[in-house]
Structure 1
Amino acid sequence: MRNAEFTDPRLVAVYDVECPWGRDDDFFLAEVGTSPCRVLDFGCGTGRLALALAAAGHTVTGVDPARASLDAARAKPGADRVTWVEGGAEVLPAGAYDVALMTSHVAQFVVDDDEWRRVLAALRRALRTGGRLLFDSRDPADRRWERWNPVDSRRRVRLPDGTDVLTWTRVSAAHAGVVHFTRHFRFPDGERRGDAVLRFRTEQELRGSLAEAGFRMQRIDGGWQGEPVGAGDDGEFVVVATAV
């Protein structure tokens, strides 16, 4: 099943435990700032960051195509402060937001170049002129997928109900910036798995596609502390752009 960790309720529960609040969330929360504004969390998943932004006083809309992930988000404390919308780029209204976010490497799940152009165009329409787009994408030069193997990626996850789940990842193909892999989840009553594909775009590709979509690049950092691209251990592109 493609992207099952977002669409299968049992795997969504594992994702929620595997992916707690981190330095990336600190960065995006701080970058949005303290002045109340209208925020779009595009690909909001189970709502970790959307809920924090709403608690900080922002007007937040969380959009995601995966119903199981949205169901998990809606069940969390404070969920009534966020407007949750099931769908993709096609549901975004024009000029409705001051800031748009794509976090947790959501941008990499948009593999096809034509689809990526459509997503960026929709985000540009959804932002007011002068609004900001913030997102993260792994730097292909870091070759992070080489660490996604059954040994290095293996971990045991304990769910809130006490269930232990063993997880690991296996890459099946990596070519021209496109990486295919499978996530494995071993529950006490059997194993589930989910296939996924990610696109690792270069800095040049990101800059070109953003300019084409009507954004001006403010900066690309190489990590969560503002490191230059290629420096440090984060292996990230942290992108801040403005709608023009």
Structure 2
Amino acid sequence: MGRVMDYNEYNDDLLAAIYDDDNPDGEDHDYYRALTKRLKATHITDLGCGTGILTVTLVASGRNDVGIDPAAAMLARAANRSSGDAVEWRLGTSTLIDDEANDLIIMTGNVAMHILGSDWHATLDNIARGLKSGGVLAFETRNPQALA
């Protein structure tokens, strides 16, 4: 008999399957790639990396790229991307950010909007702990009432 998936796991798999269609590569990703180059970042963490559509495009020789996401289905897709083997994928939250290691930590799309209440403050504390002196946090939020 096959393995039975629970409701949340099914929803995670379904979301991962359609995620890239709803969140394609575009100008927002161009901004993060340009920022990475401008900062000459050698250690980058993509917090809430989803399927890694942006994360894998940040891979470069001499760079340490980490993608963190709480959804295993998203990370499974990310790891199977071209250059996915050059990224360290971590299942979890901001608690997995390396201490004082990051030149750049990014949260793209609507990631910041999903971190609510005291979790937002804890996430910011973890990010601050994870940045090198002079390191940068870059994130965006989206207006949920605006049409795409």
- TM > 0.5 fold call: yes
Change (3 A) 1:106 1:55: same
Residue of structure 2 aligned with 1:21, choices 15, 25, 41: 25
Radius of gyration: which is bigger? 1
- Count of matched residue positions in the alignment of Structure 1 and Structure 2: 140
| 1:131 alignment partner in structure 2 | 135
Rounded to whole Å, the distance in 2 between the matches of 1:118 and 1:31 is: 25
Determine helix, strand or coil for the equivalent of 2:141: strand
Q: Is the 8 A contact 2:41 2:104 kept in 1?
A: no
For structure 2, the 5+ residue unaligned runs are 1-7
Instruction: Give 1:194-233 correspondences, 5 Å limit.
Output: none
* CA shift for structure 1 position 129: 1.3
| 1:32 alignment partner in structure 2 | 36
* CA shift for structure 1 position 63: 0.6
Residue of structure 1 aligned with 2:109, choices 104, 109, 119: 104
Q: Is the 8 A contact 1:9 1:68 kept in 2?
A: yes
Larger helix proportion of the pair: 2
TM-score by length of 2: 0.85
1:75-130 C-alpha deviation (Å, 9 max, x unpaired): 11111110000010222221121111011121111121x11110000000011111
Q: Is the 8 A contact 2:100 2:132 kept in 1?
A: yes
Amino acid at match of 2:15: L
TM-score by length of 1: 0.53
Instruction: Give 1:23-172 correspondences, 5 Å limit.
Output: 23-33=27-37, 35-55=40-60, 58-112=63-117, 114-138=118-142, 144-147=143-146
Change (3 A) 1:120 1:17: same
* CA shift for structure 1 position 16: 1.6
Rounded to whole Å, the distance in 2 between the matches of 1:110 and 1:87 is: 13
Change (3 A) 1:145 1:61: closer
* CA shift for structure 1 position 146: 3.5
Determine helix, strand or coil for the equivalent of 1:104: coil
* CA shift for structure 1 position 7: 5.3
Change (3 A) 1:145 1:89: closer
- Taking CA–CA contacts closer than 8 Å with sequence separation of 6 or more, which of the two structures ends up with the larger relative contact order? 2
Change (3 A) 1:56 1:15: farther
Identity of aligned residues (%): 33
Rounded to whole Å, the distance in 2 between the matches of 1:45 and 1:125 is: 22
Change (3 A) 1:24 1:97: same
